[in-house]
Amino acid sequence: MEYIKQWALGMVLTSVIGTVILVVAPSGSMEKQVRLAVSLVLLIMFVKPLVGLSDINGKNFKKYEFFTESTSYNADEYFITAFKDKLNDDIVELIDDKGINVIKTEIDVSINDVKEISVDRVVVFIVDKNKISTVKHLIEKEYGIIAEVEVIY
């Protein structure tokens, strides 16, 4: 019940802020774009809790309480996963572009108190032992990361 009150309060505050933005925004073609952006934000805020209500058994109902402390943890995990996936894809593409086959990668990252993500460790597994220094140099040059490169036979 508490999250419904907080959701409603968020909707009201967003509506008030959106109204202020619309009043301050210049009229004309820019007004339509601002009105669209405010409307989209309100629509997303309205629909977000409804998605959580689809869990009839209530097993995962807690994860849809958007204003709890655990939400920031889930958001951190989401952004860490997204960051790792993007970095992984970029590293594999960088190495593949040089004709070196990447078997797999392992990337360890952490997030500090001010929500900055740092790369703790990158390990790239390749087949050709003659390309170890090339892979290390590519990753260090492109990302400033000293990577470990291991060979899998």
Q: Which tens digits make up the pLDDT trace of 56-72?
A: 444 444 444 444 444 44
Per-position pLDDT tens, the chain of length 153: 677 788 788 888 888 888 888 888 777 777 788 888 888 888 888 787 766 544 444 444 444 444 444 444 456 777 888 888 999 999 999 999 999 999 999 999 888 877 788 889 999 999 998 999 999 999 999 888 899 999 987
What does the DSSP assignment read for 19-78?
HHHHHHSPSSHHHHHHHHHHHHHHHHHHHHHHHHTT-TT-TTGGGG-TTSHHHHHHHHHH
Identity at 104, one-letter amino acid code: K
What is the spatial distance between Cα 124 and Cα 133, in angstroms, rounded to a whole number? 12
Q: Say what the pLDDT of residue 74 is.
A: 57
Segment 31-48, tens digit of pLDDT: 788 888 888 888 888 787
Cα separation values, 138 from 47, 84, 90, 92, 105, Å: 44, 18, 12, 11, 15
Q: Tell which of 67, 94, 118 closes a domain.
A: 67
Domain boundary among 34, 67, 100: 67
- Note the pLDDT of residue 1: 64
Residues contacting residue 15 through CB under 8 Å, at least 6 positions apart: 42
In this structure, what CATH number is given to the domain that contains residue 85? Answer: 3.30.300
Whole-structure pTM value: 0.51
DSSP 8-state code for residue 97: T
Domain of residue 90: give its range: 76-151
What pLDDT is stored for residue 83 in this prediction? 86
Q: Around Cβ 126, how many Cβ atoms within 10 Å?
A: 21
Q: Are residues 82 and 45 in the same domain?
A: no
In this structure, are 113 and 86 located in the same domain? yes
Do residues 80 and 63 share a domain?
no
Q: Is 49 in the same domain as 16? A: yes
What's the start-to-end Cα distance of the chain, in Å?
Answer: 57
Question: Are 86 and 55 part of one and the same domain?
Answer: no
Same domain, yes or no, for 58 and 105? no
Given a contact cutoff of 8 angstroms between Cβ atoms, the answer to whether 138 and 114 are in contact is no
Do 63 and 106 reside in the same domain of the chain?
A: no
